[in-house]
Structure 1
């Protein structure tokens, strides 16, 4: 019988959290560190030494032998270098376990070995990791033993951000400063800090490890480049919220235990829409902590899957024909004393502060829809956005009936006099309780939806860091707050000015509000009529990062310099080109070495069967028809393979990453699709025993 888990006891046991700091640090040191965390005060080196010693002792007691500065370079994954606590051997041959404040505060990885987009030349190697004391250190246990992990930011020797964390922290400072300006105008003198909070819902697939290892495409690209649909997909909707299979339930239990030990509040788990697809959602955390936690969630999902003989797939579209995976980014803004600026209250039409915040967000999203779209751009997301399970590539905002009605009152009459109420839900069954329902429905087709006291940005891809989208959200909203404050601070009559400004923003940016079906063709036409951008691919989305408008916006709040933005443009083009190049070469390898030889062998077997049947004096019409069908598709596949080889070979490095990425998008991607079509048809016709890799049926339904 398995031992029962005491969640309250294990939660956060491997985290150097506030409770541990209070227990282990002298009061003066603890207070000084809290001032740095809460108020951004500079950290005294002597305080850092005391913290480092306490942190090291705590970690060593938990079995840690090494420490690492864990950071998030522009590779899409985390990076770390492990250093042992041991010092040089003393004369008697023994060693000490030491860890200084300097080692805690600063690390030095090789900056030129990570993507820099031209910010660092190959010979310019020096870069620094800087301790992010607002995100707690923790001990991670894995095959390497116990490691003290210290969340850090990563910058070049010349100070440019080479990571996801640094711009995020900068954007958090920007929205804090501008939100406090706005709150002071509304008479709030008590709140000292405003922080964006994030709760990212993580979708993922689980497949059997042995079957995964037989698929070269899954190993190299994270998605299936070939694959015919099985007889049953997700059309019955029976997997969504269905009973969790025992093997998966055991896996989820172990995932939860590991996350809870790391202080990650994994809250919700369930089956998702597609077969073999699942979701995990945490409780909200401050944005930078949520980013760190989400990286740990993805790493834990993968690690525990291996322990259970499975593989976790985080690609946005691992299987064609069924739902892909996203990471819904639930974003809100809260004060240090517990005020959620996105809480409309029971009567939103009377909540002037909320209406000001809301219309500022509408303005921000409307004016910078291209940046928000780009923040979710990823080669894998190109297969998902606009498909029948994800938001379209058009940015719009869902407000729901209640808030849309309030805005319409403001726009048409200049005054909002009432708010629609939710009413009572009557089930029609006496034994079931009637209960108060929400004032508005939800809309799963909206990319940016208001869901009661937060906005849900549904575009983000399942394997991407959520740092990028939150950098954009924080910055564009900070800018909208700033512009509103510039007007209101000069007003002679504040109440009249704020009323007029709410109406102005609601009127000018009404076009971004859409409560209908975002999947429909009618919406695409309507969005075009409204003048909303429809940016369908990552390659089309990237350029907006380097426009004069973007440079001015991010520069104003010191989130990105012009050089940092241009470097990210270069990196994103390069990442796209490399990702598609790997996919194309993988397709070529699979088709030429596995699929075509298997089909050729099958045609020989059919031909031998036809000769044998005819030799026995019986008709071989069925076998002949099948041979003709297979041979025709084989010819199509071979011709498509030759074309793919040719266009891929032509995509030589030119030094112009934008042109190279566009070539891959416009020439190589269509050639890949042309090869997949006949191959997937062949999979349906060829004997399953002959097909050289596990099918969709094997992968999706045999977990």
Structure 2
């Protein structure tokens, strides 16, 4: 069967398939958190004193009373078994951006040969996976295998149900035998505790006497592509790399703006409803779904949750998207740039901080110029982003996200803060030492009698900003769609901790000198804007003028690739930041640099090998068959004396020759392994291997436009993006 016959057969299978019948929607009340061991379920099955102790730990972050673990484990086991679970799993989050789990049965053999179900407090609290087989950046050698998982009581246990049964899943941290964090969760919990301590101190200096623990919150918008599985399974690049290494953009892409917020295709909507039902059962508050800008691209977004729980839920969401897609005949692509020439996918992380007594600490209220609490917390963010912008760039640095940052749907690699016109004006007044007031929100009058006037926000939104204030939170738009949100949350919490500590130190000193609270606060804010206001920018982040101004006039760093960004983790200022806040030791930070740089190098190496393989075994043979057929046709034309045109043959021959020559150069470049440092190796990947891969692709994509369609071996963009 020819390649084109296979493609046509695939198209027929897709277009003629019977739509999956949607389930009868269940009531939200009947679905919500039914598979989660919630506080309500704990209260119903635990003794009062045990429940009170556990609830206190969950809600305040206090130390877990290990003596109650046996009682909790027995109740958790009984609940899980009543839900059909035969196994339990300590779920953890290694430095791979994926979720890991080790399953064990509720089984204990007795001396008489019988078996009983058993789940002890010791097993609930601590597990032991291999500490050397996961990325650890040199913390654990192969022969040093011991690692531990430890129960994170602040994130609820849940039942993961599949067609093959149900498993009790227990969120845990993952640490080495020597105590270092090998995961994403441990630093997140540490960063939140450090931030809470610093925020509480500042709130008390502001006059609050009743201050509950402060928590960061997160709402992560998730963008993704859906491609029919028949197409995806015919593309080695999609299967192995998660993106198309070859492919000429279709004549129609997103230029008509007709996909964004358009009617959701029926098959996709059935898939979405299935995902959302699973999310609701797991207590994940899915709120929004819609078509995204690019054809074949979609988005799901949740309500805000506490950052630690939101991070766990985000990992679950990615798992549910991928697994549910398979049941609907799709492959869900979470790569940041699976298709060239159209928008890639991000994971906009909406982040704020607050507590039960003072509320959202980044809520400006109606008169932000007079809201000292908000101004100081927001000012602390401004200072932190300016001082540690390279850290924010480093935590979103991956080989896949490099394709997206700076494109027309994503912010540039220069980290700046967008405040909106109202707040930018307020902070400018503070800088000038003359605070007069805040711009008032206006009313929108559409001139249509049947439509009411409605309030207009005092500031616009800026899609080109990597770190934008959006009403009562900051939106970190540079995070990649395939990433765990833990790294960005750790960075934001930690830089805020440092800045809140600095603000509190300065405020304490000013108050000690007899200044009033207002005068002291405005002095500090004026200092913040004088020293760190360069990071505030409200214009077009894509413009060449901003790139020039940011670097030359404002001293901001432009770190366009992961090879440029990751070494920032080794700078003294960032080492000092993590060590003094207690979020990461120097050894743990070094392990993250080693792990993420190794991942970057391996991704480029894998993709380069795949480019060579696909060119040699798929594209080059297809071109030769095309040329052979043309040669036969030319010979036939010659025999009957008809004219023929050879320009196209010469063009194809020239492109093929250049493509294969470049493949040879790429093969030779891959054979180079002698690098003095990891940084040198990363730069080689970025500046030598990637450009060679792009050159091969350029020739191959040009050939796709010349070679007969019935010979082209790969599903094309127009098929993958538009046939659902």
In the superposition, the TM-score normalised over structure 2's length comes to 0.95
Q: Give distance in 1, aligned partners of 2:539 and 2:677.
A: 41
Alignment of 1:104-123 (within 5 A): 104-123=124-143
Q: In the alignment, what sits opposite 1:86?
A: 107
Selected match of 1:77 from 98, 103, 111: 98
Q: In the alignment, what sits opposite 1:62?
A: 83
Q: Alpha-carbon deviations, 1:440-496, whole Å to 9, x = none?
A: 111111100000000000000000001001101001011100011112123222422
Q: Give distance in 2, aligned partners of 1:327 and 1:338.
A: 29
Deviation at 1:247, TM superposition (A): 0.5
Deviation at 1:38, TM superposition (A): 2.5
Between 495-504 and 314-323, the greater mean CA deviation after superposition:
495-504
Alignment of 1:165-184 (within 5 A): 165-184=185-204
Q: Give distance in 1, aligned partners of 2:206 and 2:97.
A: 41
Q: In the alignment, what sits opposite 1:648?
A: 670
Q: In the alignment, what sits opposite 2:478?
A: 459
Deviation at 1:655, TM superposition (A): 8.0
Q: In the alignment, what sits opposite 2:550?
A: 527
CA contact (8 A) 1:488 1:494 kept: no
Q: Give distance in 2, aligned partners of 1:628 and 1:344.
A: 66
CA contact (8 A) 1:195 1:336 kept: no
Q: In the alignment, what sits opposite 1:513?
A: 536
Deviation at 1:40, TM superposition (A): 3.3
The size of the alignment, in residue pairs, is: 698
SS at match of 1:50: helix
- Consecutive unaligned residues in structure 2, runs of 5 or more: 1-20
Q: Give distance in 2, aligned partners of 1:169 and 1:653.
A: 39
Selected match of 1:370 from 390, 411, 434: 390
Q: In the alignment, what sits opposite 1:309?
A: 329
1:673 is the counterpart of 2:694:
yes
Selected match of 1:599 from 623, 636, 641: 623
Q: In the alignment, what sits opposite 1:195?
A: 215
Q: Give distance in 1, aligned partners of 2:713 and 2:25.
A: 44
Alignment of 1:354-365 (within 5 A): 354-365=374-385
Q: Alpha-carbon deviations, 1:606-627, whole Å to 9, x = none?
A: 1111111222222112xx2221
1:538 is the counterpart of 2:558:
no
Alignment of 1:207-356 (within 5 A): 207-337=227-357, 339-356=359-376
In the superposition, the TM-score normalised over structure 1's length comes to 0.98
Q: In the alignment, what sits opposite 2:5?
A: none
Q: Give distance in 2, aligned partners of 1:143 and 1:378.
A: 34
Q: In the alignment, what sits opposite 2:684?
A: 663
Q: In the alignment, what sits opposite 1:396?
A: 416
Between 334-343 and 224-233, the greater mean CA deviation after superposition:
334-343
Q: Alpha-carbon deviations, 1:567-620, whole Å to 9, x = none?
A: 111111111110000000111110001110111111000111111122222211
Deviation at 1:4, TM superposition (A): 3.1
Q: Give distance in 2, aligned partners of 1:162 and 1:4.
A: 41
Between 259-268 and 436-445, the greater mean CA deviation after superposition:
436-445
Q: Give distance in 1, aligned partners of 2:638 and 2:450.
A: 72
1:691 is the counterpart of 2:721:
no
CA contact (8 A) 1:570 1:658 kept: no
Q: In the alignment, what sits opposite 1:498?
A: 521
Q: Alpha-carbon deviations, 1:54-90, whole Å to 9, x = none?
A: 0011011000010000000112211111000011155
Between 485-494 and 123-132, the greater mean CA deviation after superposition:
485-494
Q: Alpha-carbon deviations, 1:631-658, whole Å to 9, x = none?
A: 11111111111111111122x3768433
Q: In the alignment, what sits opposite 1:557?
A: 581
Q: Give distance in 1, aligned partners of 2:62 and 2:657.
A: 70
Q: In the alignment, what sits opposite 1:632?
A: 654
Q: Give distance in 1, aligned partners of 2:346 and 2:516.
A: 42
Q: Give distance in 1, aligned partners of 2:163 and 2:607.
A: 31
- Structure 1 residues 656, 526: closer, same or farther in 2, change over 3 A? closer
CA contact (8 A) 1:13 1:261 kept: yes
Q: Give distance in 1, aligned partners of 2:303 and 2:720.
A: 31
- Consecutive unaligned residues in structure 1, runs of 5 or more: none
Q: Give distance in 2, aligned partners of 1:144 and 1:460.
A: 34
Q: Alpha-carbon deviations, 1:277-331, whole Å to 9, x = none?
A: 0000000011111110000000000001000000000000000100000000000
Q: In the alignment, what sits opposite 1:443?
A: 462
CA contact (8 A) 2:430 2:522 kept: no
1:610 is the counterpart of 2:664:
no
CA contact (8 A) 2:248 2:716 kept: yes
Q: Give distance in 1, aligned partners of 2:67 and 2:198.
A: 33
- Structure 1 residues 352, 338: closer, same or farther in 2, change over 3 A? closer
Deviation at 1:530, TM superposition (A): 1.1
SS at match of 2:99: coil
Q: Alpha-carbon deviations, 1:146-177, whole Å to 9, x = none?
A: 01000000000000000000001000001000
Q: Give distance in 2, aligned partners of 1:184 and 1:46.
A: 34
Deviation at 1:338, TM superposition (A): 5.8
Q: Give distance in 1, aligned partners of 2:27 and 2:437.
A: 48
- Structure 1 residues 143, 585: closer, same or farther in 2, change over 3 A? farther
Q: In the alignment, what sits opposite 1:584?
A: 608
Between 425-434 and 456-465, the greater mean CA deviation after superposition:
425-434
Selected match of 2:55 from 15, 27, 34: 34
RMSD of Structure 2 on Structure 1 (CA): 1.2
Q: Give distance in 2, aligned partners of 1:86 and 1:346.
A: 59
Selected match of 2:176 from 153, 156, 161: 156
Q: In the alignment, what sits opposite 2:3?
A: none
CA contact (8 A) 2:247 2:716 kept: yes
Q: Give distance in 2, aligned partners of 1:143 and 1:659.
A: 48
Deviation at 1:124, TM superposition (A): 0.4
